[in-house]
Amino acid sequence: MKDAVRIQLEDFSQDEEIAALRASSKRMGGIATFIGCARDFSEGREVTQISFDAYGSMAVGEMNKLRDEATKKFALLGVRIVHRVGVVGAGEQIVFVAAGAEHRAPALQACQWLIDELKQRVPIWKKEITPQGEAWLTPHP
């Protein structure tokens, strides 16, 4: 069984992640997920690939903290967080977050909280590769 929280080079399967999440409890009435994808266009520039650099050990540590905090805050029955690193092509999947709870409201709230916090707290950096060259993305405040 793959870790519930991990970074990896390869793509992920929602079916596999959701099956693993649901295996943890039959009390789960609602599962909310978020998938971030590599867009082929960003701030007016065509983007062909995105390259990710990560401070791996800390990234996984922070993602596990997010999982624990969300579980307490929203009384979740399960959480999965997967982030890809390396090079991802336009249109490919980058990040997956899933939150399972007895009812839908906490699952949906937790999913939004998890992706918002992940972007704030997890040491991963994105470089956009365009036909004109490469540039590290500067996040908006």
DSSP run (H or E) holding 100:
strand 93-101
Q: How far is the CB of 68 from a second copy (least distance, A)?
A: 22
Q: How far is the CB of 23 from a second copy (least distance, A)?
A: 9
Is 32 one of the binding residues for a second copy (CB under 8 A)? yes
Residue 40 or 134: the one with the smaller Cβ distance to a second copy is 40
Angstrom distance (rounded) from CA 47 to CA 109:
31
Extract the tokens encoding 4.
């519930």
Is 2 one of the binding residues for a second copy (CB under 8 A)? no
* DSSP three-state, residue 29: coil
Binder among 39, 45, 73, 121 for a second copy (CB under 8 A): 39
Q: If you ran DSSP here, which 8-state letter would residue 70 be given? A: H
Angstrom distance (rounded) from CA 107 to CA 105:
5
Residue 2 or 103: the one with the smaller Cβ distance to another protein is 103
Is 26 one of the binding residues for a second copy (CB under 8 A)? yes
